[in-house]
Structure 1
Amino acid sequence: MVTYKNISFLDEIRYSSGYSPSSVTVGDFNNDTKLDIVVANSFSNDVSVLLGYGNGSIASQTRYSTGSWPYSVAVGDFNNDTQLDIVVANLDSNNTSVLLGYGNGSFANGTMYSTGASPLSVAVSDFNNDSQLDIVVANSFSNDVSVLLGYGDGSFANETRYSVGASPYCVVVGDFNNDTHVDLAVANSFSNDTSILLGYGNGSFTNETRYSAGNSPYSISVGDFNNDSRLDIVVANSKSDDVSVRLGYGNGSFANETRYSAGDSPYSVTVGDFNNDNRLDIVVANSNSNDVSILLGYGDSSFANESRYSVGQYPQSVTVGDFSNDTQLDIVVANYGSNDASVLLGNINIGFVNQSTLTSGNGSRPQSIVIADFNNDSRMDIAIANSASCSIAIFVGHGNISFGNPTTYSTGSRPIAIATGDFNDDMRLDIVVANYGSESLSIFLGYGDGSFANQKFYSTGANSQPYSVVICDVNNDAMLDIVASNPGIDGIGLFVGYGNGTFSNMMLIPTGDGSAPFYVAVGDFNKDRKLDFAVLNEGTDSLSILLQTC
């Protein structure tokens, strides 16, 4: 364990996301006063929502489709219903997706709004002082930012563009001249500088003023680093392996930069008070060294040398929040290369502990993960589907971020997805696994002590290749059912649960010839108290909504 003053950091805990997660942020999406996580997955064209338990552990993800190559994500209440919504900048489709939240952790389908070319970053604030949230997007290919004013009902006006430097990579907001109007700060990766655009308070902005940065600034954040009530900026410079700190004068201008070393290729930066000394600190995600740098602030605009903590592969986004309700800031990182998110829990006395690695077996190829309490001791356990070894591995948690040795259970061929629920109403969690290779589901009934009965097979049909699985009550009989996507036979499979751990044969719901549905999510999309299906079709590059009518 590494300690600096009265803070240290535990090793990371990893949670699966979609493919190539590029951005992460936090909010309370289900109104339980516990922080949740949303991740933008650039290769799988979706966002992952992971609900927090309030004890530092996080539920497994639920995915929602976006535009093409979602690269940045932000949250806010766009329709004034007191429920948090999501906005995503879609790099390839040159637009943003707005997903309105229902307040229970689920979200509506996205609505698209056009932006400039290749939007890489998104932020929200009220730019015209009408008490409605607006959106700003940094467009990397058109060298400008798009401002979309909100109407307060979840919809937005057409964009207005403002020129900035070359290849803007990140945009943030703040009041830099203390006039109560929101201003913009943009990190320009090709011109090696930052653009400051002061707001007029009516939704429009001044022309930019430029300030030099390091080599290839990729990210920017704001905070008061010297306790003078004036906002300062910090920039992560990816090719010079450092951060630039500029102090604000409170009139919209900034002092010369001071540089501090970070890791290899710092990609994302944010700020927070990690040691509860009322002085802002800096955390940086270092993409090539697979770690984060913590720079503790002295409160006079200077910072201590970095301390490093390992995370996943190619971390590209970092944010902070209190996930364990202990009044200590924690860190969450989106790992682009390892397709997961790392959570580092902070403790003012213990600090942040380095990550612990759980081995699922040589050559096992872990494909999917779920977190739940399998032995009813109020401590989170882990179940992993291992596609190459055709098994699941159960790790019983000790409640202190350590876990017992894995217990394995055989599955069908190439288990690719895993989910958990109580299938026989015995107050003990059970497991379902989608077996891509053997075209079946495996059901494991839990004994409530962390062990499970041998699997029971349910066929998904010849050539079905089940890829994802969801547990829900489709027919409102208070018994859990199973929904599986079957890309090989162009349909969604429904297994109705009898409440005793057994299920009906599969009912196939076609999604269209050549659709190849890979992912399915459920929710009540038309508020008729019946669960509907949202299906992501890889074969036709489309999203299908299947409304339940009976």
Structure 2
Amino acid sequence: MYTAGSSPQSVAVGDFNNDDQLDIVVVNGEGNNIGVFLGYDNGYFANQMVYSTGSDPRHVAVGDFNNDTQLDIVVVNYIDNNISVLLGYGNGSFTSQTTYSTGIGALYVALGDFNNDTRLDIVVVNTNDNNISVFLGYGNGSFANQITFATGSSPQSVAVGDFNNDNRMDVVVLNHDDNNVGVLLGYGNGSFVNQITSSTSSGPRIVVASDFNNDNQLDIVVTYYFDTSIGVFLGCGNGSFSKPFTYLTGSYVFHIAVGDFNTDNQLDIVVTHNSEENIGVLLGYGNASFANQITYAFPRSPFYVSVGDFNSDARLDIVVTDSMEKNVGVLLHYARASLGKEIIFAVGSGARIQHIGVADFNSDAIQDIVVVNYGTNNIGVLLGHGDGSFLEQTTFSTGSMSNPYSIVIGSFNNDDYLDFAVANHGTKNVDMLLGDGTGAFARQIPYGRRLDFAPSIIAAGDFNKDGQSDIVVAYNDLDHIDILVTYNTGTFRNQATYSTGSYPLSVATGDFNNDMRLDIVVTNLYDGTVSILLGYGNSSFANQIIYSTGSLPIKVAVADVNNDNQLDILVIYSGSDVGVLLGYGNGSFANKTTYATGIWPSDIVVGDFNQDTQLDIAVLNSYNATLSILLGFGNGSFANQITYSPGSNPSFIAIGDFNNDTRLDIVLINSNDSTVSLLLGFGNGSFTNRDIDASSSIPNFVDVGDFNNDNQLDIVLVKSNESIVSVLLGYGNGSFANQITSSGSFDTLSLNVADFNNDTQLDIVIVNYQHNSVGILLGYGNGSFADQITYSTGSYPVSAAVGDFNNDTQPDIIVVNSYDNNVCVFTGDFNRIFVYQNTLTTGKGSLPRSFIIADFNDDTHMDIGVVNSGTNNVGIFLGYSNGSFANQMTYPSGSSPWSIAVGDFNNDTRPDIVVANSDDDNIGLLLGYGNGSFAKQITYSTGFSSQPYSIAVGDFNNDTLLDIIVTNYGTNNIVVFLGYGDSTFADPKAFSVGFGSSPFSVVVGDFNNDKKLDFVVANYDSDSLKVLLQSC
């Protein structure tokens, strides 16, 4: 109980201080105020904070009235005939009240958007005026004056909803003296039709709207002054209701609320019995019928009721005001652990199940199961229905004679979908199967060396903090474990080609028709045109649309140069100008406007060179060796060129801020004198020239990027005559380190930068003109690159661009094939593999059997715990976050430890370890000190000749304390240890899984969505799965 003010009336629930814990607001009627109780996550609340209202406040509602994402409060004041609005600050405190006049006898309040302006409005019942007041909100916390609408006689309460499915909010009112319910259908503009009435029992009091029969039509439930029952009126979806279904409550009901109290996804009802000192719960069946009420004692005078999850256990609790004792009572939902229904699944003849796992594999928020079928060389996925039953398994091959032995679930390709790693005993490798979120998995082609030994057990963890799971592997009868890390080689699927004009030369990408899909623009040299290919978002494109540009278009760029949020096209020609084609945003373009440049422009870039937030143009002119800067006005037009003389025969250009002064600089190649010029920008459209030493050979192409992840821009150059790629690492002050070289190609004609394998290291793609190929050079993150991986193109490719053409977040490539008069698209894909990293020794004769991954020393780095069955101990390897580990520390276990799990069993926030000691018939608990070391084990018996094999942990009775479940191979049962939270446990409860079943593996999950953990057990001798569902 919590002390409120004098005569607490209505109560409402919301998170008033943005801590993700529900708080309470209570109307203190005789105190002329409200009390706000801020909630803690354990179901307890701070003392109330009091805020003044008007005289005799009766009812309260909560909503966001000023669109600041903070909850506000509205209260009806009966004597003052007004409402009080208190705006929330989001920290649990509120402004002083602002009042708005109502009719006479304001009694009840509800909220809704009655004029479809996305702003909350207020409706108030005026019991003495026989009407309702509607206050239309302005969205800033203030409201228009009331508009009134007639009701019946002595209206008592109001509810809001769309009762006729026209997407407009309606109002339902209880008319006490008329013994009916009135529905006022909304027009969606803040006004309503005259009420339509339906008869009720004597003295209707409180109404709540919800869908009690799951037909997607709003229903209502009504309480009465003079009847010991409640009435459920089913909505017809047209604003009318059926005759009521009556449910006896045994005594008069004062107030009512609705929620799912038994987590069966069906709405239940809670009522307060003011005269009987109890509350009643009626559990719903989902068809508008309800079980007989269950009553719960409540001191003195339960008055108003509301519901919410006050202790963060995913179960609805109840809050009740006590009008006589000046209190607020909170009733927390309680659940006990017990096993009920069991379901058995056969997984196929000769499957020889070796391992099981549980997770949601098809993104439906329902737990599924995966099994390892050693005998049939596959894994099986059983998708759950959410009621404890499963589809028949779908199998995925692990390869001929693979004999899969163990599986681990992880995220190996950073796509938010769960994947599998499978230890194949027969083929001595670890398979990777990547999930797509639908329950399907694609097997990756194993790459690299086979393991030297047959793997038996694997576990997953992110040992090097790269955001993706790595693997630890153990082997039968060996005394070491191996660490394997994931790597994506970045592959591309087969090309698709699309026709262009004659001799296509340059390509760029952008969304030209605002459909959120990338499109392509290509210059056609001999036709004097550009081709627009609109993308479908699946790596395919529509046929080209052609726009005339003028003679011999050389290069194209894309930008929004007139600030209309539509992409425009800029083209340079072999003569002496640049053309601007303004886009309409539908894939079409205006006629070009031209601006003078130097002679024979060779390259173009777009950027804001004078920091006026308008895009400008930079053009290289190869014939007269100049750089033209055309400053933009932001309306699609440009000033006359300003020219600079950077060097001899400038040919290719890139831009970036190389000296960290927030001003754009320019880097360009001077082909004739084999130099690289850096023009540092002053931010006003002017530049100063600085030459960069790029060695003796002629650079052909230039681009920029951060190739060593130091947050400083670097320069990459292609030097075709030496067949190298050269990187100049930037110091961030406009100077650069000596070049780092990697192998390239002698016929490169294009250079682009992207991360093709999603390793956060920049890679490059080059076009090999004479080899008819593109080459991918994967970056190592230090300025050097792996040897190129090549993919065949069409004839004589001349340029390329990078974009995501199928919206899969993976970079794709488009290549211009000049002799074929087409472009080809390469769709990027993953090719994940596991790469050996290092070996950890577990000790001579140790025979490691099982792993657990956790942070045992609180340094945010993943550590490894392993049970060594040969030396009867637990080994701890503390991780360094780079994939390496300290030497093993060992702690004695029992005899032949077979399985290990981790959890906090004494509530000290430090991870502890529990081990199944197979030959000792017990489990051993090793309490952690939080520094990577552990206390001596405490043992608990699992039964005579039980041979415990597998162990799992979870909160099985929803008391927020960790419990343990063990499979006993020898006695064909499972044993549950319910924890007290102090490292001790209640006497174990045993549950049989069948004679001769030999259970050897167990996992836990909520398989029927009742917020209770269930168990799935793999049985070796019966070659089956058994799912055991908790019943209460």
Classify the TM-score, shorter chain.
0.5 to 0.7
Identity of aligned residues (%): 53
Residue 176 (structure 1) aligns with: 163
Residue 260 (structure 1) aligns with: 247
Conserved in 2, the CA contact under 8 Å of 1:192 and 1:212? Answer: yes
The one of 212, 225, 244 aligned to 1:238:
225
Residue 195 (structure 2) aligns with: 208
Residue 90 (structure 1) aligns with: 77
CA distance in 2, matches of 1:30, 1:291: 31
The one of 25, 33, 45 aligned to 1:38:
25
Cα distance, 1:265 vs. partner?
2.2
**CA pair 318-263 structure 1, distance change in 2 beyond 3 A:** farther
CA distance in 2, matches of 1:278, 1:58: 28
Please show how residues 510-529 of structure 1 align to structure 2 within 5 Å.
none
Cα distance, 1:337 vs. partner?
1.4
Matched, 1:29 2:19: no
C-alpha distance after superposition, 1:425-472 (max 9, x if no partner): xxxxxxxxxxxxxxxxxxxxxxxxxxxxxxxxxxxxxxxxxxxxxxxx
Cα distance, 1:215 vs. partner?
2.0
* CA RMSD after TM alignment: 2.0
Residue 249 (structure 1) aligns with: 236
Matched, 1:325 2:312: yes
Residue 453 (structure 1) aligns with: none
Matched, 1:56 2:37: no
Runs of 4+ in 1 over 6 A off after TM superposition: none
C-alpha distance after superposition, 1:302-341 (max 9, x if no partner): 1111111122333221111100111100111111111111
The one of 134, 140, 150 aligned to 2:137:
150
Matched, 1:20 2:1: no
CA distance in 1, matches of 2:43, 2:277: 22
**CA pair 55-350 structure 1, distance change in 2 beyond 3 A:** farther
CA distance in 1, matches of 2:178, 2:300: 27
Supply the AA of the counterpart residue of 2:214.
Answer: N
Conserved in 2, the CA contact under 8 Å of 1:151 and 1:157? Answer: yes
C-alpha distance after superposition, 1:169-197 (max 9, x if no partner): 11110111111111111122222221111
**CA pair 280-197 structure 1, distance change in 2 beyond 3 A:** same
Gaps of 5+ in 2: 339-907, 910-958, 960-1032
Residue 223 (structure 1) aligns with: 210
CA distance in 2, matches of 1:223, 1:350: 31
Cα distance, 1:263 vs. partner?
4.4
Supply the AA of the counterpart residue of 1:122.
Answer: V
What's the secondary structure of 1:176's corresponding residue? coil
The one of 323, 333, 336 aligned to 1:346:
333
Cα distance, 1:350 vs. partner?
7.7
Matched, 1:191 2:178: yes
Residue 260 (structure 2) aligns with: 273
Please show how residues 295-310 of structure 1 align to structure 2 within 5 Å.
295-310=282-297
CA distance in 2, matches of 1:145, 1:98: 18
Conserved in 2, the CA contact under 8 Å of 1:234 and 1:245? Answer: yes
CA distance in 1, matches of 2:250, 2:104: 30
Conserved in 2, the CA contact under 8 Å of 1:22 and 1:42? Answer: yes
Conserved in 2, the CA contact under 8 Å of 1:263 and 1:293? Answer: no
Cα distance, 1:347 vs. partner?
3.1
Residue 293 (structure 1) aligns with: 280
CA distance in 1, matches of 2:130, 2:302: 25
Supply the AA of the counterpart residue of 1:72.
Answer: H
Conserved in 2, the CA contact under 8 Å of 1:214 and 1:242? Answer: no
Question: Which entry has the higher C-alpha Rg, 1 or 2?
Answer: 2
Matched, 1:78 2:99: no
Please show how residues 460-499 of structure 1 align to structure 2 within 5 Å.
none
CA distance in 1, matches of 2:54, 2:10: 15
CA distance in 2, matches of 1:309, 1:205: 41
Supply the AA of the counterpart residue of 2:188.
Answer: G
The structure showing larger relative contact order (alpha-carbon pairs under 8 Å, at least 6 residues apart) is 1
What's the secondary structure of 2:125's corresponding residue? strand
Per the normalisation by structure 2, the TM-score is: 0.33
Conserved in 2, the CA contact under 8 Å of 1:233 and 1:247? Answer: yes
Per the normalisation by structure 1, the TM-score is: 0.61
Residue 109 (structure 1) aligns with: 96
Cα distance, 1:165 vs. partner?
1.7
CA distance in 2, matches of 1:286, 1:263: 9
Cα distance, 1:242 vs. partner?
0.9
Supply the AA of the counterpart residue of 1:255.
Answer: S
Conserved in 2, the CA contact under 8 Å of 1:220 and 1:270? Answer: no
CA distance in 2, matches of 1:126, 1:321: 23
Supply the AA of the counterpart residue of 2:170.
Answer: D
Conserved in 2, the CA contact under 8 Å of 1:328 and 1:348? Answer: no
Residue 492 (structure 1) aligns with: none
CA distance in 2, matches of 1:334, 1:217: 21
CA distance in 2, matches of 1:21, 1:189: 23
The one of 162, 178, 189 aligned to 2:149:
162
Residue 110 (structure 2) aligns with: 123
Please show how residues 371-382 of structure 1 align to structure 2 within 5 Å.
none
